Amino acid sequence: MTANELREMYLGFFGSKGHAIISGASLIPQNDPTVLFTTAGMHPLVPYLLGEPHPAGKRLANRQKCVRTGDIDDVGDVSHLTFFEMLGNWSFGDYFKQEAIAWSFEFLTSKSCLGFSPDKLSVTVFRGNESAPRDEESISIWKSLGIPESRIYALPMEDNWWGPAGKTGPCGPDTEMFVDAGKAACGPACRPGCRCGKYFEVWNDVFMQYNKTEDGRYERLRQRNVDTGMGVERTAAMLQGKATVFETELFAATIDAIESSSGKRMTESPETARAFRVVADHARSAAFILGDEQGISPSNLGQGYVLRRLVRRAARFAKQIGLKDGFFDPLARSVVAGYRRFYPELAANEERIVKELADEEAKFEKTLSRGLVELEKVMGQMKAHGQTSLSGRVAFRLYDTYGFPVEFTEEIGRENGIGIDREGFEKAFQKHREVSKQGSDKAFKGGLADASVETTRLHTATHLLHRSLRMVLGEHVAQKGSNITVERLRFDFSHPQKMTEEELRKVEALVNEAIAKKLPVSMNVATMEEAKADGATALFTGKYGEQVKVYTIGDFSKEVCGGPHARNTGELGRFKILKEEASSAGVRRIRAVLAPPQV
């Protein structure tokens, strides 16, 4: 079964179970400050998990593009990826564990669906702790479906609990499904979740039945939700009997392009295979980030920094296998060709993707050159003092500051009769990795995910700001991302140059005039086509006929948005722009706050 067939079968299956099929969201989260990228299907749907009614109903299914970089240093093994597709089905206060688990089992094992043998299936469940009890209900359901107790593993919260998107919010136990790949167990402790490759996780059903409070308690939710996720790449690999995700058709054209450009075969050695995988994965991730509806550019902050890291890490591994300058061009085009049917935004932005990658590759070449100059200076000093071992700390500084691969440092060192303290390098690298893993996907705490009064008002203010910017600067202005915490809003928008002080004053005045008029905020449900015909601004196109929410603020603003919003602009207070600055090429950023109304 191909990945295309898997996508279509999944959505067809859940469509037959009464689910509305909705479009996936952008990789760049809108109004959610808890993550830099959409890392799971739940992030765009948090308002509905918290009780906001979805225009398509209580049962939904979709496919969502995701980026996670917390495990970036593991990419190169058989299954870790930074970009992946997630298939998901959702229940907002409708069905719960019985139906979710039974349908998961049916889709995995039915001959008319994926057809995995039930004998190859193992599952994990939450074993309970002082905060929440053992998930006996899921255990009982799995047993009723024929999964023996010997293949039901009760694991702790770090394994089988899906936390809230922010510090607080909906969360709950999950049950994860694994297919036995047929490998021998690595030892007596081998179980689902082990990294030896015996077990492949293919699906995760999350039961959001709790709300985590500010003081760390877990309260029962009035609305119990189901949030599931099936990884396209891993499931396709299992269905095709492949040992790694990189052997599926999803990577075939990109791997072929790397082999053609490098003159090497991926199977030459474990080191070569790892380099191929890193380059293929990172090129695909970079293409999707650059080609997203809210596409960003490489930079030294936020999402742009993660993108820069992906591109430069790919370039480092590309050098190890002999890829020449300009290698990103055929790789990026192979990604666009393979995904354009499902993600037309890639085709629409193909030339931008290729140009941005070429520009960043050229910048990295200059950085590497500076690293080489620094290394030669250090080695010259060492020779003058009769030293023959470069410290791990210095080797890591070259890696971290200049992107200089330690393998390059070792090779040049050998040529100069100087060894490298590899153990010291690995210690410094591990410390860096732990810090990176903690923060690479996360941005801030709190935010719109908590649906507080403060964030709701700021969210409403972004609509007024968006419309005011279009009135002052022109209709070319389009939202390119936003980030809201309880203290402030951050709004990115397309505009070619710095705003003048006069323009900023006009925008601020327009927003405050709209607030002073105490305009009502209303919502209606329409198709995307109807919304656009009615003059609504929309970030995403969505699929034809899809139902969306349209928020209208008096006669001032009309936007497609998920909510929540204030009921009246008079609730907002005084709008104040704190700063206007560059975000990336062709994109500006405004930071603003809402102060109490002036008396």
For 352-397, the pLDDT digits (tens) are 999 999 999 998 888 888 888 899 899 999 998 899 999 999 999 8
Three-class HEC string of 478-499: CEEEEEECCCCEEEEEECCCCC
Q: How confident is the model at residue 436 (pLDDT cuts 50, 70, 90)?
A: low
CA distances from 313 to 111, 169, 176, 348, 510 (A): 42, 35, 32, 26, 45
Q: Dihedral, CA atoms, 339, 341, 347, 353, nearest 10 degrees?
A: -10
535 contacts 558 by C-beta, under 8 angstroms: yes
Q: Is the pLDDT of residue 222 over 50?
A: yes
The CA distance from 514 to 468, in Å, is: 10
Q: How confident is the model at residue 571 (pLDDT cuts 50, 70, 90)?
A: very high
pLDDT at 542: 67
Residue 100 class from Cβ within 10 Å (0-12 exposed, 13-18 middle, 19+ buried)? buried
pLDDT at 264: 95
Note the pTM of the prediction, 2 decimals: 0.80
Mean pLDDT of 581-598: 85
Closest CA to 34 of 157, 160, 164, 158: 164
| Residue range 452-595 in CATH 1.10.150.530 | no
pLDDT at 446: 41
- How many beta carbons lie within 10 A of that of residue 544, not counting itself? 9
pLDDT at 179: 92
pLDDT, tens digit, 9 for 90 and up, residues 183-196: 899 999 999 988 88
Q: Where are the chain's structural domains?
A: 3-242, 248-439, 452-595
| Mean pLDDT, rounded, of the chain | 90
Closest CA to 199 of 182, 222, 216: 182
Continuous H helices in 490-589: 501-516, 528-533
pLDDT at 597: 65
Q: Is the pLDDT of residue 544 over 80?
A: no
**DSSP conformation class of 35:** B
Neighbouring C-alpha atoms within 13 Å toward the C-beta of 411: 7
pLDDT, tens digit, 9 for 90 and up, residues 80-130: 899 999 999 999 999 999 999 999 999 999 999 999 999 999 999 999 999
Between 358 and 479, the more confident residue is: 358
CA distances from 508 to 34, 198, 464 (A): 27, 59, 10
Report domain 3-242's class.
alpha beta
Question: What percentage of the chain reaches a pLDDT higher than 70?
Answer: 94
pLDDT at 450: 56
